[in-house]
Chain A
């Protein structure tokens, strides 16, 4: 009797342990934590536990967000920010790819340009904005230039690395078939470097977004950054938090969209990598 009872307990214990372990193996505890924190936020705000003005309940924030989106107040703000960012990002990336490729392919250009690039890279981006006001005024040109300037560096660096990292055998293939230099750049070097270039573009996307918000906060007249500062000034906490929430969502979606597109664009790179790993 005792023996079988002991055997049953011994069998049960590992099962019980694994059930707990399985709980922690999933994402459930994390989600639970999140929900718990949100509930805490809501409860503490509603019960007046925390200073009320700056601590609106989460439900009020969501309500403000929905209201703002529905009555059309927030949408133009978001679009204004995105449009500004898009222009700066596009310019920064275009120049970044061009110069990154140029210094990778030409030693004289590299000796000429790379030191200057390395010198300019550590300059903190907000610092260039006030002096630039004198050059570019207080309008969008200033903000777009700052965004472009910040976007430039990761793209240029990654493009440089990518073009340099092109397998020598690809160059040899182009040579042995007598492919003209320009065609080889277009059909061999550029695709081969694309994984690096896209990584740089992805990093720059995040940076461009941050710089857009910063520029709008410091010298802005419209856009999400300006909206946040305005709401903070007016002590309109629910609107401000709604703005932050919106910003987070936009940033998240931008990143996911880019990652998805990137995965498709360089599908071959992942698969080649896994194949080479397998062969080793």
Chain B
């Protein structure tokens, strides 16, 4: 066991981990952050996405121990002081049905807007292409991001 310290959603958190423990499991089971989900468990579906030092990554493909002394933001952090503009638009437009892909979609969108506040549809599609949704067929999700980012 090794003690690691991460800045999680703005707070310093310490936890003991084995080298083979996966970041996604540690976030959910040891740190109580439940927004990242386990979908495919091999980096294809995006449900486990979190922001690591500002960039979206697959938390199912990262060892928790790799993130010692780094910064992680999940949807809990993004909506700490109320829902973001994109989250509100997603609510208005009924963008999700079951909601399983929602955290990954929100993480990818947050990263995109940070770099590119007014993306075009192609750029939105490219940014979200690694997130699989099995309910709504993507359209209301893309429309929400377009709506929330238009000039």
Q: Note whether A and B form a binding pair.
A: no
Residues of B in contact with A (beta carbons under 8 Å apart): none
